[in-house]
Amino acid sequence: MVEPLSNFERIIGPFKKQFGQDFYSPMASAGGFDNYNPPTDELRVTQAFIPDSYDLCPCASGLKYKFCCKLIFKEITHAMVAAENGNLKKALKWMDEAKTKVGETDEVLCRYAIVYTFFDKTMADKYLEKCFLVAPHHPRAHYIKGLDLYEQGDLEGAIKAYQIAITNYPPTAQYHLNEALNNLGKVYYEQGKYHEAKTAWEKALINLPEDLVTLKNLNNFIYDNPNIPKDIKGNQTTH
């Protein structure tokens, strides 16, 4: 199973349950949860999605998250949700607010590209190329490029794009590394490179053990697959 370009409704689901439909709050944006509501697996995935304030920013700027993309967390997240819900006008309104705050940064350009993937591929490609001109190694942009190449049937191109994303995400970007590694494993599996697929999925789970999508891929396609040689299956540590 390949993760889509954006799956924010699933990601922010725990926030909606805990904080109501207007999910944004200082505690949520900081990834904090109180002692009376210990985090479920869903909430742990959400926590991994939002970096600690003093982690390196997932956009690979080299800055701490607090001084980089956290400044536009609210606007970006609302824009992604609006786009996934089919509301281009609302999504662009939120993106314009993000741009007003920080300028036309590589992250802002990348997120405009993501918004347009739901509506206009030409515009999405335009913004993605603008992002690459500003930041040639922007990890999220390469991840998006990998998904697009996969959809076009260019598996080798997709692998290269995912690998660039994985190389450039900071090690603390566990959610994003898990996401890219999960998709990398899927492409390897489709190529019949089962050892490489297994390795990618296991690395994905090291970054985010609570991710049930990756766990299902690893179990269904490798560990429980009778067509996979035993020497490739190796130690089955994730059951």
CA dihedral 73, 116, 11, 136 (to 10 degrees): -70
By CB atoms closer than 10 A (0-12, 13-18, 19+), residue 4 is exposed
What does the pLDDT read at residue 180? 96
Paired residues of 64 in beta bridges: 56
Task: Tell me the pTM.
Answer: 0.83
The beta strand positions in the chain, using DSSP E, are none
3-state secondary structure of 118: coil
Q: Using a pLDDT cut of 90, give the percent of the chain over it.
A: 73
d(CA 63, CA 4): 27
Q: What is the pLDDT of residues 194-217, one digit of tens each?
A: 999 999 999 999 999 988 999 999
Closest C-alpha to 176, from 78, 65, 97:
65
Which single residue is written with the structure tokens 């990618």? 200
Q: What is the pLDDT of residues 129-147, one digit of tens each?
A: 999 999 999 999 999 999 9
What does the pLDDT read at residue 214? 93
Which residues have a Cβ under 8 Å from the Cβ of 193 and sit 6 or more positions away? Answer: none
What does the pLDDT read at residue 28? 34
d(CA 205, CA 88): 34
Q: What is the pLDDT of residues 158-197, one digit of tens each?
A: 999 999 999 999 999 999 999 999 999 999 999 999 999 9
